[in-house]
Structure 1
Amino acid sequence: MSLIVYGERRLALFASILVSFWLVVASPAYGQSITESKEPLTLQQALELTLEQNPSLNVFQFRQKVLDGERLTAAQKPAYQIGAELENVAGNGEFSGVDSAELTVSLSSAIELGGKVDARLGVIKSKRTVVETKKELQALELLSETTRRYVNLLAAQERVKLAEESLQLAKETLRVAQRRANLGATMKAEVKRAKASLAQAELTLHKEASNLKVYSASLQSMWSEKISKTYSASGSLYRFGNALSFEELYQKVQNNPSIKQFSALERLKQSEVDLTSTSNQSNINWSVGLTRSQASGDMGFKAGFSMDLFSESRNQGKLQSALAAKNEVFVSKKTALLRMHDQLFNAYQQRKQSVHVVERLQQDIIPTLALALKETQKAYQRGRYSYFEYVAARQELISAKRKLIDAASSALMYGVAIEQLTAEPLTLFKKNS
């Protein structure tokens, strides 16, 4: 398995996301007429392809190279300067011409005080952490979007399966209506209605099969710009995993890369504050040189130094701005946590409700409607129920199964939202929801 490497301390996050087993389980085979030519694909395979081939992650290697260059610059000490100074030339009197000229050649530089080099390197290190967390955030968003598209493909497959079932029921309805019409037990108009219903079922199947291709292409576009294959999702739409309590889930929000990014930005701003604080201590500027008098031919040594005065008071404005920028990040982090609390609570409650709907539909409603349809069909064949009652029973069953697909899809989508907020797969949570 080939994955993009994010560093040892980052890899665990993505490894945990990749093993989201609540989707990577075998599901019953779908109608052969629709899926026999499709290549099966697990969620884990889809996630790996996205991480390996999606180009949006490639930009971060260039950002790291930019920081490598900035680090080389930040580590450099003050440059040396060489200078030459010519005095007492082109004047008047005894200073006319160059006979009284004095030439000084000097070398100068500065001694940085206050740990300025370390402070600059600290800023670069903090920037590197920010880039790493942005990379994590981008990767998590890609993984979440891939999972959502995978769920869409699973739901599309179930809708195709349901459309095939609806088509078979429509064919059976036509067969029964035709037989009753041949016996003179019903009007031929019912046969025409049954034929129209069959045609509509065929159109629905054609539409769902077309949607299936669209969702397959949408999933494939996460790692390839060329739609060369048609995939079938090999997971199950009706496996949701377990979840912790809301309070325990919210504790895990701190692992979200977006919160880590705020923490990394806080460290960056603190590094910038530290760098600004180093300017409170002035550098020592020094110079040494040799002076030669043209008149006497004598040479002498020259040395000097200088320091800026009142550096601390002159630096207060920059320091105040740096502190304000740091405080702004702190407040933004608190705001983000409040927003994520609201998003997590909504996703948690909606997922819980969707799972409840799925359970009721699977355990109570659909079995009851299936039995009712069977009994209604028998009654219709015997002339005890009308065609409309028979069709209504069929439509109620199809509608309930469509609601089942929608509720299961919603439960998985809200599960994806929870995983994205907590940066952990739901299957790692051992308690029942």
Structure 2
Amino acid sequence: MTLDEALKLVLNTNYSLSSARYAASSSEGLVLQAQTRPNPILSVELEDTSRRATRSTTTTLSLPIELGGKRDARIAEAKLARDRIHQKKEQIHADVRAQTMVAFFDVLIAQERVALSTRTVKIARDAYRIADKRVEAGKVPPLDADKAQVAVANAELEAALAANSLESARRSLSMLWGNPSPQFTKVDAKISTPLDRPILDDLSTALEKSPAVQAARLELERSRAQIQVERSKRYPNIEVSAGVIRNNELGRNQVMLGVSIPLPFFDRNQGNIYEASMLAYKTRDEYLDLKTRLQVQLQQTASEFDIAKNSALRLESQIMPSANLAFERARRGFEAGKFSFIEVLDAQRTLFQARARHLSALSDAYQALAQIDRILGRNSL
């Protein structure tokens, strides 16, 4: 399975993403409802119901009329709420994508660890075989063969742990597309040191356009629009009505017109206006706090990437070649009887540690890049 195939599976079947898509679709209902106007009211009143001859029937149609810009303010607030939900969907998309990349590279690194531990087991077994032959030939004490056997056991234990970690990583990846039992056998990608990241100024500029920051900014604008919604409610709605009065006793119809106007002497919606104003201040501080935290996370992650990349490059160019050369010399020297098995074990341990550190550095570098993409809501890998 390639990274593109894994991303395609996750983006099509991940439950968090599908839930976010439904939430984004449902937000269109907010705007639709905000655009609706008040319903007219039809009322019928009967007087003197016991006697038909003197009965009076009043039929009235009333229509509430919104004043103070209530509808426009309501629509503006609903559109901002809708746009915020869509940005949250984009943020969830970026989060899930980053999780997929991290899980994919976890599997990839785990596969490399299994391959590395398998090679280490082979090296340890070869060393044990050589040591056993030299003990039989009387060239080295039996202690060397015992140490070689312990080294084989340790290498086999490391291989078993690596295999278990790989299986766990495979399950973590497949669970992202809703399958707890992995159907793929391995992931396929070339592990190489990542290229340079963008400079911090470019990352900071990109942060302003990230879904997380955009969603927080829209929430701030929505909270301010909510103040306008509450302020518009200070102006009462009027209700105009028209109707017909049928007077059976007089035998004629009478037209009736009316206007109803609430008088805002006491309730001017002042409590809700105050609450909305304070919530807008709260949202503003949350917006500024989020930007600060994301900026710090971006800088820290960029620094972690630089450290991991530099470590991987140094291990590739200096440490691993030297460790490999030292091990080969120790192994050949041991076979020729020039070195003790202790020196072979030390060289083998140093080589294994260098390879393991190289894999860890590559894993840290790719995870840092995935984290940067998650924060910025973009795709660079």
Task: Give the 3 Å change call, closer, same or farther, for CA 380–60 of structure 1 in structure 2.
Answer: closer
Q: In the alignment, is residue 280 of structure 1 matched against residue 234 of structure 2?
A: yes
Query: What SS is found at the alignment partner of 2:186?
Result: strand
TM-score after normalising by structure 1? 0.81
Flag the 1:255–1:246 CA change in 2: closer, same or farther, 3 A: same
User: Does structure 1 conserve the Cα–Cα contact (< 8 Å) formed by 2:125 and 2:152?
Assistant: yes
Match of 2:85 in 1: 131
1:16-31, aligned counterparts within 5 Å? none
Percent identity over paired residues = 24
- Indicate whether 1:51 and 2:43 are aligned: no
Q: Which residue number corresponds to residue 420 of structure 1?
A: 374
Please tell me whether the aligned partners of residues 334 and 344 of structure 2 are also in contact (alpha carbons under 8 angstroms): yes
Output the CA distance in 2 between the equivalents of 1:58 and 1:378: 59
Counterpart of 2:364 (choices 410, 425, 431) is 410
Q: Which ranges of structure 1 fall in alignment gaps of 5 or more residues?
A: 1-40, 91-96, 428-433
Following superposition, the deviation at residue 335 of structure 1 comes to: 0.2
Indicate the RMSD between aligned Cα atoms, in angstroms: 2.5
Matches within 5 A, 1:311-322: 314-322=268-276
In the TM superposition, structure 1's runs of 4+ consecutive aligned residues that sit over 6 Å from their partners are 97-100
Counterpart residue type for residue 8 of structure 2: E
Q: What is the CA-CA distance between 1:299 and the residue it aligns to?
A: 3.3
Tell me if the contact between 1:287 and 1:303 (Cα under 8 Å) persists in the aligned partners.
yes
Q: How does 1:185-196 map to 2 (within 5 A)?
A: 185-196=139-150
CA distance in 2, matches of 1:212, 1:387: 32
Map 1:255-274 → 2, pairs under 5 A: 255-274=209-228
Aligned to 2:245: 291
- Per-residue deviation at 1:120? 2.7
CA 1:331 to 1:411, structure 2 compared with 1: closer, same or farther past 3 Å?
A: same
Q: Which residue is 1:184 aligned to?
A: 138
- In structure 2, the gaps of 5 or more residues are none
Aligned equivalent of 1:348, options 302, 317, 320: 302
Q: Is the 8 A contact 1:160 1:205 kept in 2?
A: yes
CA contact (8 A) 2:90 2:377 kept: no
Partners of 1:181 and 1:191 within 8 A in 2: yes
Match of 2:41 in 1: 81
65 and 180 in structure 1: CA distance in 2 versus 1, 3 angstrom threshold: closer
Q: TM-score, normalised by structure 2?
A: 0.91
Q: Of residues 317, 337, 349 in structure 2, which corresponds to 1:363?
A: 317
Equivalent pair of 1:177/1:191 in contact (CA under 8 Å): yes
Q: Measured at CA, do residues 75 and 382 of structure 1 come closer, stay the same or move farther in structure 2, by a change above 3 Å?
A: closer
1:12-411 mapped onto 2 (5 Å cutoff): 41-64=1-24, 66-86=26-46, 102-310=56-264, 314-411=268-365
Count of paired positions:
381
**Residues 226-267 of structure 1: CA distance to partner in whole angstroms, max 9, x if unpaired?**
525233222233331221222321221122211111122123
1:107/1:288 contact within 8 Å kept:
yes
